[in-house]
């Protein structure tokens, strides 16, 4: 029932926002997000780290087609549900109250988005998964297009069409699999795991799914929507996209692709891996040459998530466990990063590196916090990024040494562009002497300090999360290997 | 039977009424007539009655005709709200719509090809007249003339096809034709195949699929907007029901001879509809091409024509009608306030009237097939049926088309939500507001709980 609560709570609060006056919307949304976080934490306490879905709910939705409203949480879902629950209060708080026009619609859309995200991570029925997957598109589209910056309309339309295009192929694959299930047919993901499909069928289905998830992640060359969208989106939109939404793609790979089409993965996994690695190197190099802070984070995020996806295609427990924990950590880091950039932009009215400099002298607290977040995102030991990237690279290394060498270049390049950014923006001379901004203030500290604590805590005790997903990840690998003993054997 | 009598009698009364120059009673009268007709149809559920050996009131016929009755009700009420004062032929519209519904009823229940022909003609003639309703407007005249010429042309094909099939099989009865085709399944005579193709061409003209679609954009644009709404919904639904009935009960034994043709036509229609819609400036023309594209998706159902498909097509018809009615009504309201017919008419609509903007957005989401709007399940059912029958490749192409369509469905929405517009204010009557809300709520409700509807069929 906790799973149901995680969906009902955002729905309930969306309605409350819609019927109350706009002045209260932000507070109501915050209460909803905190309530959801409390429920997530309560669920986590009840959770026994097993392989099967827990805290579940199962209702018939469209009986004639065997579509079930089936939701539950296993180890893999748990981490992403935790991520969503944890980040949401930060994302809602990220924009100052005065800056949101039409607060009612904005916060209602934010909570609808949470409903969709939670649904994706908990769905046990492929059809339901698809519906939630699409449902997330609508609110985030409006959030980015209406509250976004210049050129937000064409950019977000491109984003919308790209992601919709990807997922429609997934729909075809899901319907195809549905008709392959025996008897009365079922959309249950579990029943898809037991299908025996020919190698050709698996290849087609692999690509249909891969396309949907690759656009979302985004994997090279399906990424072209991403940097523009991150740049024009309002800070909350960028946080939603980078922090949580693109994890839907990785989650889909682990939940659907690996166990359902193992032969397809065996045949095409290396191709996908190579694409991921090209994306990693490419995005890191481009990030190096950017002058807009948001674009640097956008490309660095593409590199980091490319590494996560590469870890999934390493097809071993190191890679998958690395992907799981890194999804959480990347979410935390990227949200913190966007928050910091937003604060800088609000103080100096610019995101251009060329116009910034010497912030460390003016805003000491901000620069320390920025350093912590940056080290986390580079993956320095004792910060949260370390263990994830370490496991990912280990996973890729045991799959193929050369590939791990290329993938590992992201660590070096990441350090290069991040330190360059820090040098140019925080050190040196102050560029604009007219502005002497105040350091981080009340609400900003309340947001940034918990994020820093999580960054360091997860660096010291990664086992807290690793234990949650371990057995579920092993379960996925067992399904993958049993059906296809040749690979990885 | 009672349904047919009710509709024609009501049509005659309304017609006589138009001579008397009093009009306030017409709307309640037509609605009452439609409710009674619907009720007479509904009580025949599961009875499978045969009328004169030429019509069969089965559940298929009842379901489709009731959908058209409901659509007509909406159209008449909206027309009343928008045009009551201005339209000098207000009463005639009601009479013609009621008459046209008898055509619809015949089209969805025929068992003889002659009845099919009659039904098609009754409906078409009514629509020709409605298209030319604004007799002092050149576009409206052009629309009616074009529709009439093209329609008569297609009737020729239809008749020719019927004659050929009669020549080959010696009967107008659909069941006899099916029996004959079953016997000669292995090698159907060229004569029969030619007849089937002629018949198909005649009907495909009516549903406006490529390459027989050229009349649609001009006719849709020129006709008064609520009439366009009626053509695009009830007119199309009835024609599709007739096609489905013909293929399912009559021609399916000869499926091998026409399936490749249908699949080619479906592909062509989807691409022509969607790609042309991308380039339209006028909203009505855009919606016209979008309706062509939707006919393309619906044709996939004919590839899989059997019992289960009926529900699929019905669901699609309902979802599509709800969305189209909403869209055309919003366009009609905008047009009644300003002359512009292009996307810029929507600029800033959200501020000017949130209800119009939101209901229009829901309609566009539904037409684009994005959950949780009803259009999503509509497409889902059609695509599922096609995949089940092994037409996966066509579904992949349909899917490609679906996301081409997103682009043009989003344009007016973007204008409405994100562009700045003039300070126009729209005053809507309570009735219009309520009906728009009803349409939008139904669209979402059916999208979330499609089982409610499918359980009925």
**Residue A283 and residue A299 in contact, taking contact as beta carbons nearer than 8 Å:** yes
Inter-chain touch A145–B417, beta carbons under 8 Å: yes
Inter-chain touch A64–B451, beta carbons under 8 Å: yes
- State whether residue B149 sits within 8 Å of chain A by CB: no
Name the residue of chain A whose CA is nearest to B376's CA: A131
pLDDT at A401: 85
- State whether residue B355 sits within 8 Å of chain A by CB: no
- State whether residue B418 sits within 8 Å of chain A by CB: yes
Name the residue of chain A whose CA is nearest to B362's CA: A138
Torsion of CA B97, B102, B104, B106, to 10 degrees: -170
Inter-chain touch B410–A160, beta carbons under 8 Å: yes
From A383's Cα to the closest Cα of chain B, the distance in A is: 40
Inter-chain touch B414–A64, beta carbons under 8 Å: no
Alpha helices, H only, B45-112: 59-83, 90-109
Mutate to test the interface with A, among B310, B379, B384, B449 (most CBs of A within 10 A): B384
Q: Which residues of B31-43 are buried (b: 16+ CB within 10 A; e: fewer)?
A: bebbeebbebbee
Partners of residue A65 in chain B, C-beta under 8 Å:
384
Cα separation, A6 vs A54, whole angstroms: 13
Query: Between B59-83 and B430-448, two packed helices, what is the crossing angle to 10 degrees?
Result: 150
pLDDT at A433: 65
Inter-chain touch B406–A160, beta carbons under 8 Å: yes
Instruction: Return residues 431-450 of B near A (CB < 8 Å).
Output: 450
Inter-chain touch A134–B450, beta carbons under 8 Å: no
Name the residue of chain A whose CA is nearest to B450's CA: A62
Residues counted in chain A: 489
Among B395, B414, B450, whose Cβ lies nearest the Cβ of A62? B450
CA angle A437, A439, A442 (to 5 degrees): 125
Residue B35: what are its φ and ψ, rounded to 5°? -65, -45
Tokens encoding A353: 């590196």
Positions in chain B whose pLDDT score sits under 50: none
Alpha helices, H only, A289-383: 293-313, 317-348, 359-362, 364-378
Mutate to test the interface with A, among B387, B397, B452 (most CBs of A within 10 A): B387
Inter-chain touch B417–A62, beta carbons under 8 Å: no
Cα separation, B307 vs B310, whole angstroms: 6
- State whether residue A138 sits within 8 Å of chain B by CB: yes
- State whether residue B358 sits within 8 Å of chain A by CB: no
DSSP-derived letter for residue A130 is H
Cα separation, A79 vs A59, whole angstroms: 24
Tokens encoding A146: 């209406």
DSSP lists the bridge partners of residue A59 as A69
Q: What's the Rg (C-alpha) of chain B? A: 21
DSSP lists the bridge partners of residue B405 as none
Residue A205: what are its φ and ψ, rounded to 5°? -65, -40
pLDDT at A182: 85
pLDDT at B306: 67
pLDDT at A487: 40
Inter-chain touch A62–B395, beta carbons under 8 Å: no
Among B402, B417, B451, whose Cβ lies nearest the Cβ of A168? B402
- State whether residue A65 sits within 8 Å of chain B by CB: yes
Please give the ipTM for the structure prediction: 0.82
Cα separation, B5 vs A408, whole angstroms: 80
Partners of residue A150 in chain B, C-beta under 8 Å:
none
- State whether residue B387 sits within 8 Å of chain A by CB: yes
Inter-chain touch B403–A165, beta carbons under 8 Å: yes
Partners of residue B388 in chain A, C-beta under 8 Å:
179
Tokens encoding B319: 């979802």
From A349's Cα to the closest Cα of chain B, the distance in A is: 24
Cα separation, B112 vs B47, whole angstroms: 19
- State whether residue A175 sits within 8 Å of chain B by CB: yes
- State whether residue B354 sits within 8 Å of chain A by CB: no
Q: What is the pLDDT along chain A (489 residues), one digit of tens a residue?
A: 788 888 889 999 999 988 888 788 888 888 999 999 999 998 888 888 766 777 778 888 877 778 888 888 888 888 999 999 999 999 988 877 777 888 888 899 999 999 999 999 999 889 999 999 988 988 888 888 888 877 888 888 888 888 888 888 898 899 889 988 888 888 888 888 888 888 888 899 999 999 999 998 888 888 888 888 888 888 888 898 888 998 999 999 999 998 898 888 888 988 999 999 999 999 999 988 888 888 888 899 999 999 999 999 988 889 999 999 999 999 999 999 999 988 888 888 888 888 888 887 788 888 888 899 999 888 888 888 888 889 999 999 998 888 888 888 888 888 888 888 888 888 877 776 677 777 777 778 888 888 999 999 988 898 888 888 888 888 888 888 875 444 433
Among A137, A157, A175, whose Cβ lies nearest the Cβ of B387? A175
Among A61, A145, A168, whose Cβ lies nearest the Cβ of B399? A168
């Amino acid at each position: 029932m906790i799973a149901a609560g995680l969906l009902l709570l955002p729905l309930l609060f969306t309605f409350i926002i819609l019927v109350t006056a706009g002045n209260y919307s932000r507070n109501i949304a915050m209460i909803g997000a905190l309530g959801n976080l409390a429920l997530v934490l309560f669920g986590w306490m009840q959770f026994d780290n097993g392989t099967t879905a827990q805290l579940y709910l199962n209702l018939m939705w469209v009986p004639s087609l065997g579509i079930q409203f089936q939701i539950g949480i296993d180890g893999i879902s748990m981490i992403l549900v935790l991520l969503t629950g944890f980040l949401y209060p930060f994302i809602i708080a990220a924009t100052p109250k005065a800056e949101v026009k039409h607060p009612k619609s904005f916060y209602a859309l934010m909570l609808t988005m949470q409903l969709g995200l939670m649904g994706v991570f908990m769905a046990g029925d492929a059809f339901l998964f698809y519906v939630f997957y699409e449902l997330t598109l609508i609110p985030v589209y409006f959030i980015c297009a209406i509250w976004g910056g210049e050129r937000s309309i064409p950019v977000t339309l491109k984003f919308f069409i790209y992601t919709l295009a990807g997922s429609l192929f997934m729909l075809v694959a899901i319907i195809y699999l549905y008709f392959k299930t025996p008897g009365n047919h079922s959309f249950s993901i579990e029943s898809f795991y037991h299908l025996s499909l020919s190698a050709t069928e698996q290849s087609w289905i692999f690509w249909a799914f891969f396309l949907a998830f690759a656009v979302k992640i985004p994997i090279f060359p399906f990424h072209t929507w991403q940097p523009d969208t991150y740049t024009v989106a309002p800070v909350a939109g960028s946080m939603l996209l980078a922090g949580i939404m693109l994890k839907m793609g990785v989650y889909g790979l682990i939940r659907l692709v690996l166990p359902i089409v193992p032969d397809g993965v065996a045949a095409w996994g290396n191709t996908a891996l190579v694409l991921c690695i090209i994306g990693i190197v490419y995005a890191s190099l481009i990030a190096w040459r950017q002058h807009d802070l948001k674009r640097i984070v956008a490309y660095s995020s593409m590199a980091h998530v490319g590494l996560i996806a590469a870890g999934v295609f390493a097809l071993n427990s190191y890679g998958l466990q690395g992907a799981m924990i890194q999804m959480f950590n990347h979410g935390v880091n990227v949200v913190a990063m966007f928050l910091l950039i937003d604060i800088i932009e609000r103080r100096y009215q610019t995101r251009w590196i060329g116009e910034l400099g010497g912030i460390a002298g003016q805003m000491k607290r901000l620069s320390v916090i920025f350093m912590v977040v940056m080290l986390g995102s580079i993956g320095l030991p004792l910060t949260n990024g370390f263990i994830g990237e370490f496991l990912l690279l280990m996973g890729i290394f045991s799959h193929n040494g050369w590939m791990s060498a290329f993938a590992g270049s992201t660590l070096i390049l990441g350090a290069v562009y991040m330190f360059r950014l820090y040098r140019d923006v925080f050190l040196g001379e102050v560029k604009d002497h007219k502005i002497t901004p105040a350091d981080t203030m009340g609400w900003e500290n309340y947001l940034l300090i918990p994020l820093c604590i999580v960054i360091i805590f997860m660096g010291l005790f990664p086992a807290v999360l690793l234990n949650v997903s371990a057995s579920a990840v092993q379960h996925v690998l067992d399904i993958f290997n049993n059906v296809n003993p040749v690979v990885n054997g | 039977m009672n349904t047919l009598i009710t509709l024609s009698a009501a049509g005659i009364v309304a017609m006589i009424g138009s001579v008397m120059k009093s009009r306030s009673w017409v709307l309640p009268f037509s609605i009452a007539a439609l409710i009674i007709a619907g009720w007479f149809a509904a009580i025949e559920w599961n009875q499978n009655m045969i009328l004169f050996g030429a019509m069969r009131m089965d559940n298929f016929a009842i379901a489709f005709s009731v959908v058209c009755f409901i659509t007509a009700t909406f159209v008449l009420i909206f027309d009343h709200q928008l045009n009551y004062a201005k339209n000098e032929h207000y009463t005639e519209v009601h009479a013609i719509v009621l008459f046209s519904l008898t055509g619809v009823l015949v089209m969805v229940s025929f068992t003889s090809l002659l009845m099919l022909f009659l039904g098609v003609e009754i409906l078409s003639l009514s629509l020709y007249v409605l298209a030319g309703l604004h007799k002092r407007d050149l576009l409206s005249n052009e629309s009616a003339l074009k529709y009439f010429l093209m329609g008569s042309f297609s009737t020729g094909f239809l008749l020719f096809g019927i004659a050929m099939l009669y020549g080959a099989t010696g009967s107008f009865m659909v069941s006899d034709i099916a029996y004959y085709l079953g016997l000669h399944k292995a090698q159907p005579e060229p004569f029969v195949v030619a007849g089937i193709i002629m018949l198909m061409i005649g009907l495909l003209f009516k549903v406006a699929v490529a390459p027989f679609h050229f009349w649609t954009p001009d006719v849709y644009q020129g006709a008064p907007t609520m009439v366009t709404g009626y053509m695009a919904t009830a007119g199309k639904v009835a024609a599709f029901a007739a096609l489905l009935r013909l293929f399912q009960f009559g021609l399916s034994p000869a499926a091998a001879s026409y399936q490749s043709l249908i699949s080619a036509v479906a592909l062509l229609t989807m691409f022509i509809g969607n790609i042309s819609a991308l380039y339209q400036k006028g909203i009505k023309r855009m919606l016209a091409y979008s309706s062509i594209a939707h006919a393309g998706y619906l044709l996939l159902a004919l590839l899989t024509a059997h019992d289960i498909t009926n529900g699929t097509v019905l669901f699609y018809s309902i979802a599509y009608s709800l969305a189209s009615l909403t869209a055309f009504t919003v366009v009609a309201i905008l047009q009644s306030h300003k002359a512009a017919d292009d996307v810029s008419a929507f600029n800033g609509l959200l501020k000017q009237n949130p209800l119009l903007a939101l209901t229009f957005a829901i309609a566009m989401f539904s037409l684009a097939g994005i959950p949780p709007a009803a259009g999503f399940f509509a497409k889902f059912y059609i695509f599922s049926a096609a995949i089940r029958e092994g037409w996966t490749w066509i579904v992949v192409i349909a899917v490609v088309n679906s996301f081409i369509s997103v682009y043009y469905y989003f344009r007016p929405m973007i204008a409405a939500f994100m562009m700045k517009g003039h300070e126009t204010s729209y005053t809507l009557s309570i009735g219009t507001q309520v009906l728009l809300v009803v349409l939008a709520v139904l669209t979402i409700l059916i999208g979330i709980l499609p089982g409610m509807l499918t359980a009925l069929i």
